[in-house]
Amino acid sequence: MPEVAIMIEGQDGLDWATWQRLARTVEDCGYAGLYRSDHFTNPTGPVLDALELWTSLTWLADNTSRVEFGPLVSPVSFRHPVITAWQASAVDSLAGGRLQLGIGAGWQEREHEIHGFELLETGRRFARFEEGLEVIILLLQSGGPVSFDGEFYRLQDAVLMPRSPRPGGPPIVIGGNGPRRTLPLAARYADEWNALLVTPERFAELSARLDETLREIGRPPEQVRRTLMTRAVFGRTNSDVERKLAGQSADELRASGVVIGTGSEVAEQLARLDEAGVERVMLQWLETEDIDGLEAMAEAVLTP
């Protein structure tokens, strides 16, 4: 079975009390990690509590001792890569080397329009993303001053302190399924590729495509870890599962990659992900108030 972590949507009403309960539950129950999105708000609907990413991760770093954690993913479109690298280095140092640094191009139009950030058209957005990745990696992995002269970002003899306790800094995670843009960027820059909401069969296809791309640029495939973020709908009983589905078809959702069911059913689906090459699965837990459910899923799935 792959390692099992939890992922939550930080813009869906996340406040301090909820975040602290979730973090302690994930740590105490034996989950491998706790990850969260980085958004101001959702694409539609009312604006809810959205605890700021790096503030929440700083608390997590200082109040847990075991779980790995990080953003899935933090966009360069509204976070300058120099600031992201600075924060990541400090948080990873505080956590003793447990941060996984997920970086993205940005995608949600609403939050950019509301707050005055330029999302850019797709081609230039990914060009900015690649420059942002280069800047972050330079700052986190270079021991001395670094310079960079790009279209979007510039550095001149820049150094960030304190350093991560890991010589290469926190691992860089690139998420997404796009074979034309995302996978080549993951092959070039990532320590971990995180697929999004795909079936085991599709994951295996994309992973094989990543292998090919890695070999083409001279990187061994084993240098890039393979993980998956997908939604989880767990219930102690079949009636619990049906209640959470609220009329949605379990078969249709499973066909899109969602993990659904009671403990034995979830374990069976996780086993298929393991066979497809998933090393860690981040189960998206939308019911952030359902702490009992998180505990029950851990007992059913993580207990030997």
- Whether 171 is covered by a domain: the verdict is no
The pLDDT tens digits for 257-303 are 999 999 999 999 999 999 999 999 999 999 999 999 999 999 999 98
Residue 242 has pLDDT above 80, yes or no: yes
The answer to whether residue 116 is domain-embedded is: yes
Whether 82 has a pLDDT exceeding 90, the answer reads yes
Residue 281, domain member (yes or no): no
Task: Report how far apart the first and last C-alpha atoms of the chain are (Å, whole number).
Answer: 11
Whether residue 155 contacts residue 148, with contact meaning beta carbons closer than 8 Å, is answered with yes
CA 267 to chain centroid, in Å, comes to 22
Q: What are phi and psi of 219, to 5 degrees?
A: -105, 135
Arithmetic mean of pLDDT, 187-209: 98
Cα 81 to Cα 158: distance, rounded to the nearest angstrom = 13
**Overall average pLDDT of the 46-55 stretch:** 97
- 260: β partners: 233
| Backbone φ, ψ for residue 247 (5° rounding) | 95, -10
Whether 158 is in a domain gets the answer yes
For residue 126, give its domain range.
6-162
Task: Supply the CATH number for residue 144's domain.
Answer: 3.20.20.30
Rounded distance, CA 290 to CA 69, Å? 20
Mean pLDDT of the chain: 96
Per-residue confidence band for 220, with pLDDT thresholds at 50, 70 and 90: very high
**Number of structural domains the chain divides into:** 1
Quick one: pLDDT at residue 149? Answer: 98
- The sign of the CA dihedral 219, 221, 67, 36 is positive
Please report the pLDDT score of residue 88 as a whole number: 97
The pLDDT assigned to 130 comes to 98
- Kindly state whether residue 93 falls inside one of the protein's structural domains: yes
210 inside domain: no
162: confidence class by pLDDT, cuts 50, 70, 90: confident
Residue 291 lies in a domain: no
Give the residue carrying structure tokens 């670094």.
Answer: 146
Does residue 272 belong to any structural domain of this protein?
A: no
Instruction: Kindly report the pTM of this predicted structure.
Output: 0.96
Annotate 259-298 with DSSP letters as a single string.
Answer: EEESHHHHHHHHHHHHHTT-SEEEEE---TT-HHHHHHHH
What pLDDT was estimated at residue 198?
Answer: 97
C-alpha span between 181 and 41 (Å, rounded)? 26
What pLDDT score was predicted for residue 207?
98
Residue 304 confidence (pLDDT) above 90: no
In single-letter form, the type of residue at position 59 comes to W
At residue 299, the pLDDT reads: 96
